[in-house]
A and B are shown apart, each in its own frame.
Chain A
Amino acid sequence: MDNSAFPLSARSRRRPFFRLFTIPAVLVAIVFTIAMAAILQYSVRAQIPGSLDVGGFTLANFSAMLRPLYARVFADTVWLCLLTAVISLVLGYPLAYALVRSSNVAVKSFILIATVTPLFLGEVVRTYSWIVVLGNTGFVNSVLIKLGIIVQPLQLLFTVTGVTIALVHVTLPVVVIMLAAAISHIDPDYERAAESLGAGPLRIFFTVTLPLSGPGIVAGLTTAFAWTFSAFATPQLVGGGKVNMVSNLVYQLGFANFNFPFAAALCVAGLLLTYLSIFLMRLLLRPMEKVGLH
């Protein structure tokens, strides 16, 4: 908006509240930075067994991560994150589209509440729910056995499939919201124009709607990746030690082995890996992200 038309535009130069409103946020940013610095500092220290204090500087924590046992967990984690992000995108798109374009207010509200509620439920409740659904005496197996489709219960808990299903359920809401934000910014006139020129619904979707929602797709994929990387209760409880992610390793080293330096080093490596993956995804998807919103 153009302020110059108003005589009091000088107000913005005096910047009322500037300091008062900035200082608290800066303090929070500083505490966060110190906490991250503490991790960085611990990651290059030696462990003193049986103590929370740390020894001298060393890079042993990082070289230990190259051992197959740990390298495997990193590879599995990245794979699970990618898988979860892509499935969330595929399932999230139709829902986001319906959320934005449905003309029925009740339908819109229902989709919104149903999608947003799990987002706020927290990992424990959702993970527990999936144990009840996927367990050997759980819902899916009971129904399939009652229907006579299977005789022996399917092993769904403690498998990559089970963990992926639960992880997708965790990331789906946030992907839907990011896609919906992007789709809601697309002017429906573009779609109408394509339709009036004779394009069918599929063609309109793939040549107009989908490309224009590119930035939302990139944001959704990268966020889903980062959130999955952050998941702990899901791989811990649904994976049951059979499917391990970096988060589980960090917790185990910190609280079972009291090796906080190694746990910190895993955090640092995990963080680097998250940012590197997001950077690479962005690089690959750059043509999509560049699409203007209007």
Chain B
Amino acid sequence: MTSFSIPIAAEVPSFSLQQLLQDQLGLQRGPVLTLVYGVTLCAAIFLPAVSLVAMFSIWWERKVAGHMQARLGPNRVGPIGLLQSLADGAKLILKEDLIPTSADHFLYRLAPYLAFAPAFAVFLALPFGPSFCFEPMLNVGVFWILAMLSVEVMGVILAGWASNNKWSIYGAMREACQMVSYEIPLGISILVAIMAAGTLNMVELGHMQSGGIHTWLIYKNPFVFLSFFVFFVASLASNKRAPFDLPESESELVAGFHTEYSGLRFSFFFFAEYAAMFVVGGIQTALFLGGWNDPFGLIGYFNHSLNVTYAADPSVNNAIPLLLLNCVAAGIFVTKAMGIVFVQMWIRWTVPRPRIDQVLYACVKVLLPMSMILLLCGAVWQLIVPDHPGLPWVDGFNPWNFAAWAHDGLASLITQVVLTLVGLTGFGMVVGWVLYSAATGRGHKQRLTDPSPIDEGTENLVKA
């Protein structure tokens, strides 16, 4: 049997956050410490991070929606309305917690937690930086995230079922339909990228893409490039984001699966949805868009050299620059993921909602065959076009030394550079259009109200 070379270097010197802490605090390694570390992380980092992401995204979504509909969005609480989500949260906590008498009380109470907990557990595998992945040895990182996202659906379906309300059950059934069908193109489009990478470990995926923008997986081959878009559409559906927000389509189902929920339980569903949006953005970032790496490969370069220094001399002085680098990397990762979240919002407020049969048609007859073809072509590509061996910056592989790369694998170099140029052109056109319309005031000409009608416009109103 022929054995294919898997493009992973055997040893990448990279220290995890846990290892760094153990070395510096002098603790004994083992499950006990892992347990303590895990609990501390959950309480100190995950919970605030998930809440912060959700709160910020809710505020941002309302701002984006306001801009697109020529309104202002929240602008009263705090500077530019930033504290609006906090005020809403306080209101929701103070609300009476109602449970319909004919509901299944146990399941009704359980459902919000079942929806929220997986969104929380997913953060375990997201790689925020070369050392800032909380479980770097999770060999099935991508798969774990998929598993958690599919468990989350259970919460939604149970909520609809337990409410014992027609609207809720319709919403839940649509969610089940949608999720069961869109999970397949979602998984297959991930598989195309995974095949090009050769690993399911999120940290290794990050290391693979650390050589600059042309080494990002989306530019690895044309099929990964296309499967990024398949994944994006499927992820919208699995997150029940518009145009696939049929489970809660407010124009026909009141509020869909969470019609009966109020107060804090209602807000759990909201938090879960926005956390899942960020998670999906994070998967796309980690899998396709280079993870924590900047477009020039600087993070990868410095990470490698700092790790080599730290391996030689594990002192505090060598640990601090490594941690600082990781903070920068985490900033880049969050920015990219939030960029994807922004595109999700942009689409939500632009595209109308289709019927459920159209949604299923789009999955079964368009996305599914497309992802299958991409998978097949991607596999053939792996066989025909040899990849450049090794990881960027490890063992003297400089990804910006195109002459040496052309010597090792001309076809892969040409593909990656051409695809990078295509991607950059597309991105540049979109950004250019947005900047042009902002500069020429297209956004403001169509505004129906004055930018701040209450603060400044009162005198004029009185005169009129």
Q: Do A and B bind each other?
A: no
